Amino acid sequence: MLDKKSPLPMYYQIEEDIKQKIDSAIYSERETIPSERELSEQYEVSRMTVRQAVTNLVNEGYLYREKGKGTFVAEKKIEQPLQGMTSFTEDMKQRGMNSSSKLLDFTIIPPPADIKRKLSLEEERQVYEIHRIRYADHQPMAVERTFIPVALVPGMQEKDVYGSIYEYIEKNHDYTIHKATQMIEATIADEEQAELLDIVPAAAILHIERTSLLQDGTPFEVVKSSYRADRYKFISEIHRS
Amino acid sequence: MLDKKSPLPMYYQIEEDIKQKIDSAIYSERETIPSERELSEQYEVSRMTVRQAVTNLVNEGYLYREKGKGTFVAEKKIEQPLQGMTSFTEDMKQRGMNSSSKLLDFTIIPPPADIKRKLSLEEERQVYEIHRIRYADHQPMAVERTFIPVALVPGMQEKDVYGSIYEYIEKNHDYTIHKATQMIEATIADEEQAELLDIVPAAAILHIERTSLLQDGTPFEVVKSSYRADRYKFISEIHRS
DNA sequence: CAGTGGTCTAGACCACTAC
DNA sequence: TAGTGGTCTAGACCACTGT
């Protein structure tokens, strides 16, 4: 059943096996799966190891537990929203569109007050400001301004940001983005936006501002994006309990 | 230190103690906390119990671990976004505004095709449609249409939805909302919306559509909200790793 | 009552990091 | 080499659900 010599941990192998059994309807929706004690006999591991696997699947939404009754298979997600955070490039890929960019401006500046605050910067620190038009299937989709502290990514040049900034950074540094705070609002296109996005002035714009944090909480970037509302909807999943 | 006789589990008491030590800077940002083995001696519990507490705090973003090095305190969140999912009533309360409603329409109808699909309903099922204007500090903030399967909340009446629908449902049923899928887009106000929201036609509207699921995956409601963009921004936190 | 998940113990070996 | 988190064991008692 399980490969005890595999470098993959037992709990992970159990997770994959249970997910596969859900997919193939061996465990069906709204039905219980075997109890933790039964599973620990089947897989020949301790109950705590089974529990670790089941707990992870509960956190990911595949299963849910009811005290005294058992562990049940949750109903399948109807529509899969893009899970978590994605770059523009990844986002478009998931939507089945190809993406490209046009660099309008690449400068190093002292940060404006709101950026300085959002990036928790000291007085004399500088930031990159990268101003781009983002295309999806060769049509304008968004205009985007990205602010990144120079101290975090020293030596970045214009040629490095023609494609995905994340790709460049992942090649050259070991940063892991952990989470982000997003602010989403609706506005009306001004003349500059209208021209850059090839829409009429006064058309609707979906404005998304994101502040990304690394694992240790260091603010890494502020991205201000203005999307064409006729082409873009923002989809996400949120959890309560 | 800990109350071993408390009905609160040990790992929970440890979580609270560590959080308190972070707040009071006994454990400071970017510094390690004591190792799991040290903590298990301090609290006089097994290492697995300490691990359960620490794992929860890592998942909540208070701590992060680095293999071979230790467990570190993450930097504080700069701005606290409303965590998870909230009703309009809860949302406005967190923003320091009072909320009220005006019921425009309360009917039982066969669901339109998109609602039927999003609520996974069989052929002959009916839904409540609740159409309301939502006020914040007595000014119009949003117009909202809520669709709930009659089978899930039988017997709901007009008088039950003057305030918070969630409050009514929590009083009468034992449902727990687990997660939701949200779609956010920007539009331009049409004449009806402009009149209801007391804005000029062609003003920006932030449109949010939410499908909420219960713990077992049953779709519970679809809410279509149109917010005045001049008064409302949507703020959320998203996670990657 | 027997069975379930929730909590907890007192060990163990591993891979990784820092010195 | 010593210390860290990552994984795992083989038990235990509890509160809760159903019959």
Residue B79 predicted with pLDDT over 50: no
Among A191-195, B81-85, B221-225, the range scoring the smallest mean pLDDT is B81-85
pLDDT at B160 over 70: yes
3-state secondary structure of B68: coil
Mean pLDDT, to the nearest integer, of A169-186? 83
Verify that B128 and B187 share a domain, yes or no. yes
- Select the residue from B31, B56, B90, B215 to test the A interface by mutation, using most A Cβ atoms within 10 A: B215
CA distance A201 to B51: 56
| pLDDT value, residue A43 | 93
Residues A151 and A35 in one domain: no
Residue A189 within any structural domain of the chain: yes
B40 and B92 inside one domain:
no
Whether A237 is in a domain gets the answer: no
Nearest protein residue, CA measured to C1' of C6 = A67
A105-142: per-residue pLDDT in tens? 999 999 999 999 899 888 778 999 999 999 999 999 99
Tell whether B127 and B93 lie within a shared domain: yes
Does residue B56 approach strand C to less than 7 Å at its CB?
Answer: no
CATH code (residue B216): 3.40.1410.10
Instruction: Please tell me the predicted confidence (pLDDT) of residue B30.
Output: 85
Question: Shortest CA distance to A102 belongs to which of A59, A135, A150, A64?
Answer: A135
- Asked whether the predicted pLDDT for residue A163 surpasses 80, the reply is no
Of A100, A210, A207, A227, give the one whose Cα is nearest residue A161.
A100
Residue A204 lies in a domain: yes
- Domain assignment present for residue B234? The answer is no
In a domain, A62, yes or no: yes
User: Residue B96 above 90 pLDDT?
Assistant: no
- Domain assignment of residue B153, yes or no: yes
Residue nearest to nucleotide C16 (CA to C1'): B68
Q: Is the CB of A5 under 7 A from strand D?
A: no
**CA B200 to C1' C8, whole Å:** 63
A66 and A165 in one domain?
no
Packing angle, helices A36-43 and A10-23, rounded to 10? 110
pLDDT at A78: 47
Banded pLDDT at A81 (limits 50, 70, 90):
low
pLDDT at B78: 46
Q: Which of residues 51-80 of B touch strand D (CB under 7 A)?
A: 51, 65-71
The total number of structural domains that make up chain B: 2
Percent of chain B with pLDDT over 70: 94
Average pLDDT value for residue range B170-192: 86
> Quick one: A174 and A64 in the same domain?
no
Partners of B136 in the β-ladder:
B99, B139
Asked whether the beta carbons of B27 and B60 are under 8 A apart, the reply is no
Q: Which residue is nearest to nucleotide D2 (CA to C1')?
A: B68
Of B91 and B110, which is predicted with more confidence? B110
Nucleotide lying nearest to B50, CA to C1' measure: C8
My answer on whether A144 and A197 are in the same domain is yes
- A162 lies in which domain range? 88-228
**Cross-chain CB nearest to A233 (options B78, B184, B188):** B184
pLDDT confidence tier of residue B217, bands split at 50, 70 and 90: confident
| A80 part of a folded domain | no
pTM for the predicted model, two decimal places:
0.81
Average pLDDT over chain A, rounded to an integer: 88
A70 touches strand D (CB under 7 A): no
Asked if residue B68 and residue B18 are part of one domain, the reply reads: yes
Which residue of chain B is at minimal alpha-carbon distance from A216? B74
Q: Is A4 within the bounds of a domain?
A: no
CA distance B55 to B45: 15
Mean pLDDT of chain B: 88
Q: How many angstroms separate the Cα of A101 from the Cα of each of A106, A147, A161, A230, B195?
A: 13, 16, 9, 19, 40
The Cα B42–Cα A71 span in angstroms is 35
A134 and A172, same domain (yes or no): yes
> Which nucleotide is at minimal CA–C1' distance from A58?
C5
- CATH number of the domain residue A31 falls in: 1.10.10.10
Min Cα separation A222/chain B (Å)? 13
**Higher-scoring residue by pLDDT: A166, A159:** A159
Indicate whether B184 and B217 sit together in one domain: yes
Residues B132 and B170 grouped into a single domain: yes
Cα A142 from chain centre: 18
- Judge if B39 and B123 occupy the same domain: no
B74/A184 CB distance under 8 A: no
